[in-house]
Chains A and B, each alone.
Chain A
Amino acid sequence: EIVMTQSPATLSVSPGERATLSCRASQSLSTNLAWYQQKPGQAPRLLIYGASTRATGIPARFSGRGSGTEFTLTISSLQSEDFAVYYCQQYNNWPPRFTFGPGTKVDIK
């Protein structure tokens, strides 16, 4: 099983600042990694797939980088609506064995 870790667990950021979230996989994923945003009481929302491709309708301030086992999600200038929990998810296995990271909570500093 591929184990996903995320750091930090909580990130305190002021509006307008940059936030950088990390995700690490226990084995190489190539670029088979996605990022999600989840707000309280809502379903997760796909932000990034293929490690760096923004999903439909996702603002350009969200960007993803990485390959192999190390990935980052950067929010270039945090807006009030960006305070949420962010999860990474791998989809490298065949047959499918999807796993999520434990999440990073981005809160207001």
Chain B
Amino acid sequence: QLQLQESGPGLVKPSETLSLTCTVSGGSISSSSYYWGWIRQPPGKGLEWIGSIYYTGSTYYNPSLKSRVTISVDTSKNQFSLNLSSVTAADTAVYYCAEVAGSFAYWGQGTLVTVSS
């Protein structure tokens, strides 16, 4: 059974960079069948896809966030990471990592990141 776990700071200051890592267990991140992605959910609101990455490093980003987002992969650690720069209070959300096969079948539990000074 594939499992994903997000990790990273729960509090980030405005204008700084939010950095999260997703560790994948129970399967290889180098599987040729799937992508890996990040989705976020502001408190009390809906879901927003941030971006996805293939194990080769090919990336696809939400156009609304593209200028601030970088997603990378480390196959040796079975991890992929999210960097979101120049954060504001509007970036406060629960951030989820997930396996992407068109739909999102496996999700991490999510981690709340608050942007505040």
CB–CB B104/A96 < 8 A: no
CB–CB A34/B102 < 8 A: yes
The B interface, classified by DSSP as helix, strand, loop or mixed, is strand
Partner of B47, one of A42, A46, A100: A100
Where the two chains meet, the residues of A that have a C-beta atom closer than 8 Å to any C-beta of B are: 1, 32, 34, 36, 42-46, 49, 55, 87, 89, 91, 95-103
6 contacts between A and B (CB under 8 A): A1-B63, A34-B102, A44-B47, A89-B47, A102-B46, A103-B47
- Other A-B contacts than A32-B102, A42-B109, A95-B60, 5 sampled, CB-CB below 8 A, are A46-B105, A55-B103, A96-B35, A98-B100, A100-B46
Where the two chains meet, the residues of B that have a C-beta atom closer than 8 Å to any C-beta of A are: 35, 37, 46-49, 52, 60, 62-63, 96, 100, 102-105, 107-110
